[in-house]
A and B are shown apart, each in its own frame.
Chain A
Amino acid sequence: SQTIHQWPATLVQPVGSPLSLECTVEGTSNPNLYWYRQAAGRGLQLLFYSVGIGQISSEVPQNLSASRPQDRQFILSSKKLLLSDSGFYLCAWSTDGNSPLHFGNGTRLTVT
């Protein structure tokens, strides 16, 4: 069966520090991978998605970037965090563009 791992679960970082959040998927090959952000009490906003190694599409201009160095690994990064980067970050995968989305447990990021 397929599983998705996302870490860390919580993170407190000062403004201006770098960020690296990692997501890995097991039990499937060449998945579509997604990074979403959820503001408090709101729905999810798609940040990045990837259909293959090295293929990244950005949905919103921001202080963040994403990379996919391996087939089942998706990384969300920032060189310098802003207060507005605080939020709940969720990684997800799907088999293809018409299949169900499956989410990890999320990372709660607080920028102080």
Chain B
Amino acid sequence: KQEVTQIPAALSVPEGENLVLNCSFTDSAIYNLQWFRQDPGKGLTSLLLIQSSQREQTSGRLNASLDKSSGRSTLYIAASQPGDSATYLCAANTNAGKSTFGDGTTLTVKP
């Protein structure tokens, strides 16, 4: 059974700092890994998806990497802004669309 862990559970940084969010998964036989952002009381917004054959994906200030062999993915946020404050979740797609989610990292960026 796939298990996904996100560390830390919460992170507070000053504006402008670069930061890394971590995601680890126990079953390396994944189709892909997807990162999401969730604002309080809202649904999930897809940020990046990395296919199993890829090593990383980039979108603006965001860069996600994937190391299947070690069961790890990271989400790098450059030059953080207060608007980046949200909960970030990763999801490992192990079985044709049935994804296992981590509990998320709640990020606070202080002005």
Which residues between 13 and 59 of chain A lie within 8 Å of chain B, taking CB atoms?
A: 32, 34, 36, 41-46, 49, 59
Do A46 and B99 contact each other (CB < 8 Å), given the known contacts A97-B31, A100-B34?
Answer: yes
For A92, the closest partner residue in chain B by CB is B44
* A98 and B42 contacting across the interface, CB-CB below 8 Å: no
- Shortest distance in angstroms between A78's beta carbon and chain B's nearest beta carbon? 21
Pick the contact of A108: B41, B49, B95, B96 (CB < 8 A): B41
Partner among B31, B32, B89 whose Cβ is within 8 Å of the Cβ of A43: B89
CB contact list, A89-106 vs B, under 8 A: 90, 92, 94, 96-106
9-residue interface stretch from B58-66, B67-75, B78-86, B100-108: B100-108
Residues on the A chain within 8 Å of B91, using CB? 44, 101
B44 touches A90 (CB 8 A): yes
Residues on A with C-beta less than 8 A from B111 are none
B103 to chain A, nearest CB (A): 5
CB distance from B64 to the nearest CB of A (A): 12
Which residues on A sit within 8 Å (CB–CB) of B99?
A: 46, 101
How many of B's residues come within 8 Å of A, CB to CB?
26
Distance in Å: Cβ of B94 to nearest Cβ of chain A: 10
Contacts of B51 in A (CB 8 A): 98
With A and B bound together, what is the CA distance between A49 and B98 in angstroms? 8
Within 8 A of A (CB), among B47-62: 49, 51
Known pairs A98-B32, A104-B43 / 12 extra A-B pairs, C-beta < 8 Å: A34-B97, A36-B101, A96-B97, A97-B98, A98-B93, A99-B97, A100-B34, A101-B34, A101-B99, A103-B36, A103-B45, A108-B41
19 contacts between A and B (CB under 8 A): A32-B97, A36-B101, A43-B4, A43-B103, A43-B104, A44-B44, A44-B101, A45-B101, A46-B98, A49-B97, A90-B44, A96-B97, A97-B31, A97-B97, A98-B32, A98-B93, A103-B43, A104-B43, A105-B43
Nearest 3 CB-CB pairings of A with B: A97-B96, A43-B101, A97-B97
